[in-house]
Structures are given as structure tokens and as C-alpha cells.
A and B are shown apart, each in its own frame.
Chain A
């Protein structure tokens, strides 16, 4: 189950990193 947990965390990290970057664009003035 350890590798499954790693994939679970990787997916959440990937999605929330993308969301955080996209939302930050509204405040960084790109």
C-alpha cells in the first residue's frame, strides 16, 4: 500500500500546485 499512498499524494500535490500557481497569476500581474 505504500506505493499507492505515494501516488495518492503525488496526484493531490500535482493538482493543488497547478491550482495555486494559476490563482497566483491574478495577483502577480503576469
Chain B
């Protein structure tokens, strides 16, 4: 196996199954939309038309935003909130931002620490929160994109039924927007909560997402 493949197994694997699923969503979504068009005596649209349309992109964005929200919240919540016995939690006395010594900051930086970790001041503060900052930005942008594309669809539907189009500010108060949003959020929150509590009593040998198989149920915050 080439070195670059071994070094990037996780990101390449998930990148590929992401692209394959997105293609599958596009193909099945296109078929579904055209099936509906035929049922309503409308004209079928081309595949290209479908994958560049707001209909397709709303479906993509509403799922993206909920995934990024899930991980953002998880990264942020696990700084302060703990779960006894869970591999997903830090040890019970470690809540909060932790000491500079533990975080390898200030006089505890290493020769090969990132430059902004060594810099101190605003740069180190920014870098100390950079993962949550970028994940939050992607969440907010994808949620905004969901509202933009959702409004285009909503207004197309309004016009089809001789109803007036709505502004963006009105669209984000509609049941359409919140139904699309919350149906995604609920599943993410359930999955994250499940992961936190199931890892107390259940194991996967070899996975860093699990405690070692022989680790006691009460052990909190160990690496697998």
C-alpha cells in the first residue's frame, strides 16, 4: 500500500463514500422528481438541470448543516459536560479548558508545536478554538444556504399555486424551514447521545471510539 494511502485512509474512505452517496442521491432524486412530474402531467427535467437546482441543493444543505452542528456541539459540549464511564468523555475532574501544562501551551510548548500555539496572545487564543470556530462557520453557512435554497423552492411552489412569494425573513419563520431543520437535528442529537452512553457498557475492539474491551464500565475518558 502506498504511504499516502496508508496515511490518509480515513479521510480518503469517507471522502469516497461521500461522493458515491451524493451521486446516488442525485440519481435517485432526479428519478423521483421526474416521476412526480409525469404523475402531474408536467415535463421531465434533465439530470444536469436537477443537480444544479435549488431542489437538490436544499436537500444537500439541510443534511450538511445538521451534521456540522452535531460535531460542533459535541466538540464544544465535551469541554465542560462529562459522562461517567464514557469513552467520549474526559475524566470526571477535567471539566473546562484545562491547564497550560496539559494543553502544551505557554512554557510547556514543544519544539514542534504549531506556530500559533507558541505565539501567545490573540493568535494562541484563536488557534485554541480554531476547530470549533471553523466547524461553527460551516454549520452557519450551510444552514444559511438551506434557507436560501429552501426559499427558492418554497416560492416556486407558491407561484405554482397562485400564492405570493415570501421574503427570506418570512421564509425562515415558516413550518417548511423548521420542519426541514428539526427533522435533521433530532436524529443527530439522538445518535450523539447514544454514542456517549452506549460506549459506557459496549465495546469495539481496536476502535479509538471505544474503551479497551477489558476496561471497567466505570472507567471514564480512556483511549482504546
Contact bitstring B138-153, A, C-beta under 8 A = 1, else 0: 1001101110110110
Q: Interface digits, B13-39 against A, CB 8 Å rule (1 contact, 0 not)?
A: 001000000000000000000000000
Query: A1-30: which have CB < 8 Å to B?
Result: 3-4, 7, 10-11, 14-15, 18-19, 21-23, 25-26, 30
CA distance A14 to B15 in the complex (A): 10
Known contacts A3-B7, A30-B152; A15 and B138 CB within 8 A of each other? yes
In-complex Cβ contact of B61 among A11, A22, A30 (8 A): A22
User: If A19-B142, A23-B144, A23-B148 touch, does A30 touch B64 (CB 8 Å cutoff)?
Assistant: no
Return the chain B residue nearest A24 by Cβ.
B148
* Binary CB contact string for chain B from 42 to 61 against chain A (1 if under 8 A, 0 otherwise): 00000000001110010011
**Does B57 contact A22, Cβ atoms closer than 8 Å?**
yes
Measured CB to CB, the closest approach of chain A to B130, in angstroms, equals 12
Main secondary structure of the interface of B (DSSP, over half): helix
- Choose among B7, B64, B151 the residue that contacts A4 (Cβ–Cβ < 8 A): B7
Measured in the bound complex, the distance between the Cα atoms of B150 and A30 in whole Å is: 12
Give which listed residue, A10, A11, A26, contacts B149 with CB less than 8 A.
Answer: A26
In the assembled complex, which residues on chain B have CB atoms less than 8 Å from the CB atom of A22? 57, 60-61, 142, 145-146, 148-149
Residues of A within 8 Å of B8, CB to CB, are 3-4, 7
Cα distance A14–B60 in the bound complex, in angstroms: 13
Find out whether the CB atom of A30 lies under 8 angstroms from the CB atom of B145. Answer: no
CB atoms of A26 and B15 under 8 A apart: no
State the Cβ distance, A29 to closest chain B Cβ, in Å. Answer: 8
Q: List 25 A-B contacts (CB under 8 A).
A: A4-B8, A7-B12, A11-B15, A14-B15, A15-B64, A15-B138, A18-B60, A18-B64, A19-B64, A19-B138, A19-B141, A22-B142, A22-B145, A22-B148, A23-B141, A23-B144, A23-B145, A23-B148, A25-B148, A25-B149, A26-B54, A26-B148, A26-B152, A30-B53, A30-B54
